[in-house]
Amino acid sequence: MKLILILAIVTVILALTAYSIGVLSEQFSKKLTKNALLFITMGVGLDIIATILMIVSSGKIITIHGYIGYSALLLMLVDAFFTWRLYLANGLNTAVPLLYHRYTRFAYIWWVAAFITGGFILR
């Protein structure tokens, strides 16, 4: 396995860990906490890096898994945007609106599905 692919895999696992901590923090507390803000942001940043590394590793921009991954990354970016917008408007420890709460859950489930399909494609 190429070193760049190994780096991509490690980075995407770190992205999964960070995004999971952030989303689960928000989902259980139903508040925008420091952990939610920090780890959702970190998860998105790491996923961007992992996506770039995967593209470089494969030499392909357009693949079936790419479409799934890009759509998941887009959902994560929108989630991070709304997270930061909520933070800037209301600060930390504010209750999250129901629509934001549900959107975050949907984005997370879609991203985990993309992560799992990526694992199957590598085999």
- Render each residue's pLDDT in the chain as its tens digit; 123 residues: 789 989 999 999 999 999 999 999 999 999 999 999 999 999 999 999 999 998 898 887 777 777 888 999 999 999 999 999 999 999 999 999 999 999 999 999 999 999 998 877 765
Number of independent structural domains in the chain: 1
Identify the domain containing residue 79 by its residue range. 3-122
Residue type, 80: A
pLDDT of residue 122: 61
Query: What percent of the chain shows pLDDT beyond 90?
Result: 80
pLDDT of residue 30: 95
How far, in Å, CA of 43 to CA of 27, rounded? 16
pLDDT of residue 121: 72
Strand partners, 70: none
Quote the pTM value: 0.91
Nearest CA to 84 out of 23, 20, 41, 47 is that of: 41
SS3 state of residue 30: coil
Tell me if 72 sits within 8 A of 110, measured CB to CB.
yes
What does the DSSP assignment read for 43-101?
HHHHHHHHHHHHHHHHS-S--HHHHHHHHHHHHHHHHHHHHHHHHHHH-TTEEPPHHHH
